[in-house]
Structure 1
């Protein structure tokens, strides 16, 4: 859990990258009448000149004359592109706030209704990610904000294909995950026909998107489960740093990087000529979603030295116990003066290393969560684990099986919910997500 989460490497104010590389800014959509661009309109957020809730306001967001405009901070102005080769929210740097929500199609809803729903969802996501209103009946929750790095990602669960008559196009990689010894799964908070991941650097922007997506579901789908998460806010540290989880551990040192030559083949599904039944998944990925509760009371009773032995890294800076800095290669053979391994044989970081798992790789992009305290004051807190890979049978499954056999971290965590979703490639201009599946 501590060795492959996606790190936050942006300097405060630096632009986010779209999957596969820097995002094109794209043309500015000029507002009619006064020549103020959409970005200029957004640039008035936080200024006293923003016209709110007046009868003369436009259907979207209204702005005062440009001479009174005060630019958004870089945090609010950052925009993630909706259209692209891959869906957003996979290689997009982790945001400060997140929502995960699964839906089931309602009785009587099938392929036609699912297609209409994905068309609505895609249009709403495109609008909101550009910092625009959601369309009709916008709730105005995020009226004062810019895009705030909002990303919305859509996926399909195993059951979706049976409900829509598309069983022949269901990928083998979407077969249910095997049982693991650490599982204590709540079926009501697991799986689902459809899955949506929402991330943003502003909590109101993230909630606005969640509410819009839920309202768009209408009579086609109902919420099965929903979870809320958070991360460190961009710019909260003096310089870019890998984030920490609720155990206080640096979490994300060895995550695969898009710049690595084999990144795409390990994380994204390749186009396969001749396999038309699976062509809709080209440039997509598979998301494993796990709600992992951290038994913080037990963990916090350990000394720092004992915690470091469990993980295999120093708590202060994430460096391996074998020495060096956070990014130094771990020396698994190093011993101390007594001949004992410096990195314990059951240390979490040792077990999860790709070179210890046949090269299994996944991009981990989690959120922390806290859902209050029980009657005894025990926190319900931990990790909303989300990992991405081209094939979960070669990514998540072998690593989790090995963790099951002797991970020192296992006594301090509990897997309480689980899901596996096929996330198709990004939508091209004029398309909606999943169109090649639903209309192919």
Structure 2
């Protein structure tokens, strides 16, 4: 539930930006900076909050993050200057960025391995639905109560949700056992989850499915053997995928409005694309787990001609908006699917760290995307042409995915003159 508000508060700015621009006389560059500073805050927050969560616990860190971004979202409604918005979006991004990886960790630590990918998919769906809800919420409140009312409502609802999880959310038993910091809380949590369980203070708890890796991750581990080709390609592809998705998510409503589509319709189209992309992303992610990279490449390849057809105004008339919805849906779905493929080529011992490194690199694309949009629109590029420019992102992702597929098909000996970490099955 809290991840829904995470997505809502993060992308609310995409839909309220036109109202902010009109009221505060913001330039296109300033709007782009507001978009990007929030993503930068997510990068820093993702690192800081997960560090804290690994030390004091998932539950208290999630509760604090929820209270923090709820409060900061609400306070954003009182901002009256560009610099105030910039500061608040960065601080809000810190807490928002810290929430999602902690929610992933807490969910998968409650579940068996075979359903953990599905759990992450539903966590991501909650985030995506929340980001899509920002459109209808803005259409409902902004014309009557101004853009400020959207932040008051979103922030207030988030605070209520944070209080609920503070009361009901349990700590991860796996975390408690691993850290062995509070045996009494471990017993209390286990009995809360299963009142019939036979445990008591003084019992010794062990995790039977945790492998042991001697020593920490070395950066060179990500480039051993064939991984020296796979890792850069994965980072490049995911980075451009993130660039495309953040460009779409932040500038989407403004670009549509610049094409003489009404503000309300632009918000609804972007929101509908987000909902469909969330659902399609889960379906494609599950299919990709079964059928592999080529399915992701095929679906991503469809985006390129669609973006070019939109960008060069080949598609017009009644098909224009439905075409944009489908194209935007595929952008979101393929980005979700590639997330599921980030770390499958790495050994278990370094898989989580490999995925984390790829995600961090991807956030660079998330920062660049909004800035690129601001530069294009300020330079006088017609709004519709940004779709054609955006076709570069899925094109590069397709090339990277196909290259990785071909590398993984080749015998290990052809790629490695010396011993290396074997890829995961």
TM-score bucket of the superposed structures, by smaller chain: under 0.3
Select the structure that is richer in helix: 2
TM-score when scaled to structure 2?
A: 0.26
TM-score when scaled to structure 1?
A: 0.25
Select the structure that is richer in strand: 1
